[in-house]
Amino acid sequence: MKKMLIVEDDQIVGNIYRHKFQVEGFQVALATDGEAGLIAVKEIKPDVVILDLMLPKLNGVEILKKMRAEPTTKSIPVIVLSNAYLSSLVQEAWKAGANHCMIKASCTPKQLIELVNRTLGAPPAAQGPAPDPALPKPAHAPASAAIPAKKPPPGSSEDDTAFQTELRQTFLGSAPDHIAQLRGMLQAFIKSEGDTARLPRLFTLYRQVHSLTSNSAVAGLTSVAKMSSALEALLNELYEKPKNLNASTMRTVAHTID
């Protein structure tokens, strides 16, 4: 039985991926932050790692660098799930040794399963696999190196269709609560004064949008996931560069949430 490690900070999304891969016959471990993910890599020695880049405690790029620096983990294939709007981070992931970079907003569990199966049939990273023309390597990749997942072939199984439908219905049922939470967090941020109070609230808002991106993507709601991922990237930039916080950027955030 092949061993898999999923490093995903959203527990619900991580459990969905874990369930799908267990059904496919994988032994699956789940880590919900970067530090736990790095420890699990060393302890489990998985056959493949699915790695979100935006993680608490230690981001995906740092995990990749540490994996490729260790003889016991440098050959483990790593599939990165990325935000299309964070192209510089994606480039760093390629350079750090990612085998594949997939856009999270348009990657369904079924597509991820297909990619994992193809990856495990290829030579390990340390042996220098032939470049996949659909997934360019960083040396010649443009700024937007991550690419959308390939469309699944027609004729999906009834079980997979039913599973996707259930995920979509669950997400749509909880959508009003998600939006209400986002609006409440936005108002709390707007009313706060000074970076000491504002930045933690901005980070909380960012984490909520990050979760929305993950959940809408796994439910197959690509349009929602793409819009959410754009907002996620903007909030991440504002958190890292608070000098860019102004009336214009906040109007953009508020308009997107509405």
What does the H/E/C string look like for the chain? CCEEEEECCCHHHHHHHHHHHHHCCCEEEEECCHHHHHHHHHHHCCCEEEEECCCCCCCHHHHHHHHHHCCCCCCCCEEEEECCCCHHHHHHHHHHCCCEEEEHHHCCHHHHHHHHHHHHCCCCHHHCCCCECCECCHHHCCCCCCECCCCCCCCCCHHHHHHHHHHHHHHHHHHHHHHHHHHHHHHHHHHCCCHHHHHHHHHHHHHHHHHHHHHHHHCCCHHHHHHHHHHHHHHHHHHHCHHHCCHHHHHHHHHHHC
Contacts of 19 (CB under 8 A, 6+ apart): none
Which pLDDT score, from 0 to 100, does residue 117 have? 92
Does the reported pTM lie above 0.85? no
Rg over alpha carbons for the chain, rounded to the nearest Å, is 18
Domains and CATH numbers, the chain: 3-140 (3.40.50.2300), 158-257 (1.20.120)
Q: Would you say the C-alpha torsion 41, 42, 43, 46 has a positive or negative sign?
A: positive
Comparing CA positions, the residue from 81, 141, 87, 89 lying closest to residue 105 is: 81
CA 107 vs CA 35, 52, 70, 111: distances in Å: 25, 12, 29, 6
pLDDT digit of tens for each residue in the chain (258 aa)? 899 999 998 888 888 899 889 988 999 999 999 999 999 999 999 999 999 988 889 999 999 999 999 999 999 999 998 887 888 888 999 999 999 998 888 888 888 999 999 999 844 444 344 333 334 454 444 333 344 444 444 444 556 677 777 777 877 877 788 888 888 888 888 888 776 778 888 888 888 888 888 888 877 788 888 888 888 888 888 888 888 888 888 888 888 887
Phi/psi for 75 (5° steps) reads -95, 0
Residue whose tokens read 């799930």: 81
- Structure tokens belonging to residue 143: 């700024």
> What pLDDT sits at residue 135?
40
